[in-house]
Amino acid sequence: MTQKPYAAHWDIQDLVIQLRQLREQSLAQRQRLHQPPKLPSRKQLSQIIDQLAAALFPNRLGVPGLTDEGVDYFVGHTLETALSHLHKQLALELNFVAEEQGRQLDANGEASVMVASFAARLPEVRILLDTDIQAAYEGDPAARSPDEVLVCYPGIVAILHHRLAHILYQAGAPLVARMIAEIAHSSTGIDIHPGASIGESFFIDHGTGVVIGETAIIGRNVRLYQAVTLGAKRFDKDDNGMLVKGNARHPIVEDNVVIYAGATILGRIVIGQGSTIGGNVWLTHSVPANSHISQAQSSG
């Protein structure tokens, strides 16, 4: 045999053994005797979000060639499919968490309740997204129609994923929620933690580099540009030096605020309603309503 004589040197068998030992050590360190249950699948979640988006906007994001007569069947079948698959993914998360905590649970049953309450909020999501699209159309001189906004703007991709992920985060599926957020992050460069609370008519223009933290609260009619950070100033540690997880540490942005590109706003501060925060501003204290904050000028 003359094919691939070099292959003899790759030593697959030895590699397989080493990698097995490393996996076992890793499980042992984490005090797990067994393989953990399976995690949800990013690929599945990506399809589920695409299906939900198609069900919410069938004429724009659904299959080509839908007729008036056929659109409701498309919506119904697509929802049914998406919700069934979401159910499976949620059950995976619930099982995973329960196993980590050594709890028993009826993952299918609990996931079913989650899906039902999630589904019931889909019309509300559509209403909110209509306000977001309108805000983008009105806020960008380059936008020619709301339809262009829906199919082109990365800010819409990000907020669509967020509004769906946020409901799941609230419902007790933070891992699935986070995975959905990261799908949008990868595609748009906009990183919104699913825990963030965001009001209607929200618009992010350009968007690359935007970061919005887990406990941020954003009012209605807020507009952000690229590279804006709504972050934490510091991370509190407990008496053992471990990070305290989950406490309120990100800004509150009230209604009708505009934050220009590159602004960095850190900590549990309040940006008063109607304020404008200039580009590249670094802000770590609250500002009252209708403030106009701008950066010191560069030297020339």
Looking only at residues 120 through 179 of this chain, which bind its own copies when binding is defined by CB under 8 A?
120, 122-123, 126-127, 130, 138-148, 151-154, 174-175, 178-179
28 binds its own copies (CB under 8 A): no
Q: Rounded to an integer, what distance in angstroms lies between the CA atom of residue 82 and that of residue 45?
A: 9
Q: How far is the CB of 103 from its own copies (least distance, A)?
A: 13
Residues 6 or more apart whose CB falls under 8 angstroms from that of 294 comprise 278, 279, 281
Residues linked to residue 287 through DSSP beta bridges, in sequence order = 271
Interacting residue with its own copies among 28, 187, 197, 290 (CB under 8 A)? 187
Query: Please, are residues 225 and 233 in contact by the beta-carbon 8 Å criterion?
Result: no
Q: What is residue 282's three-state secondary structure?
A: strand
Residues 233 to 262 in contact with its own copies, rule: CB under 8 A? 235, 242-247, 249, 261-262
User: Out of 171, 203, 206, 267, which residue is the one contacting its own copies (CB under 8 A)?
Assistant: 206
Number of residues that bind its own copies (CB under 8 A): 139
Residues from 207 through 236 that contact its own copies (CB under 8 A): 208-209, 211, 213-214, 226-227, 229, 231-232, 235
Question: What is the C-alpha separation between 295 and 283, in angstroms, rounded?
Answer: 10
Pairing of strands 211-212, 191-192: parallel
Closest to its own copies by CB, 244 or 290: 244
Distance CA 85, CA 71 (A): 21
Can you tell me which of 47, 98, 105, 189 binds its own copies, judged by CB under 8 A? 189
Please list the residues that pair with 293 across neighbouring strands.
Answer: 277
C-beta neighbour count of 108 within 10 angstroms:
13
User: Residue 119 interacts with its own copies (CB under 8 A)?
Assistant: yes
- Residue 199 CB, shortest distance to its own copies, in Å, is 19
User: Taking the complex as a whole, how short is the minimal distance between the CB of residue 219 and its own copies, in angstroms?
Assistant: 21
For 69, half-sphere exposure in the C-beta direction (CA atoms, 13 angstrom radius) is 0
Unique residue bearing structure tokens 């080493």: 18
- Compute the least distance from the CB of residue 159 to its own copies, in Å: 15
Is 212 or 218 the residue whose CB approaches its own copies more closely? 212
d(CA 39, CA 288): 44
For the segment 41-80, give every residue that binds its own copies (CB under 8 A): 41-42, 55-56, 58-60, 63-80
- Closest approach, Cβ 248 to its own copies, in A, equals 11
- Per-residue contact track with its own copies, 75 to 114, x per CB under 8 A? xxxxxxx-xx--x--------x---x-------xx-xxx-
Output the smallest distance, CB 41 to its own copies, in A.
7
The answer to whether the CB of 231 falls within 8 A of the CB of 250 is yes
Instruction: Give the residue with the Cβ less far from its own copies, 218 or 271.
Output: 271
Near its own copies in 260-289, by CB under 8 A: 261-262, 264, 266, 279-283, 285, 287
**Nearer CB in complex with its own copies: 218/283:** 283
Outline where DSSP puts E strands in the chain: 191-192, 197-198, 203-204, 211-212, 217-218, 223-224, 229-231, 252-253, 258-259, 264-266, 270-271, 276-277, 282-283, 292-293
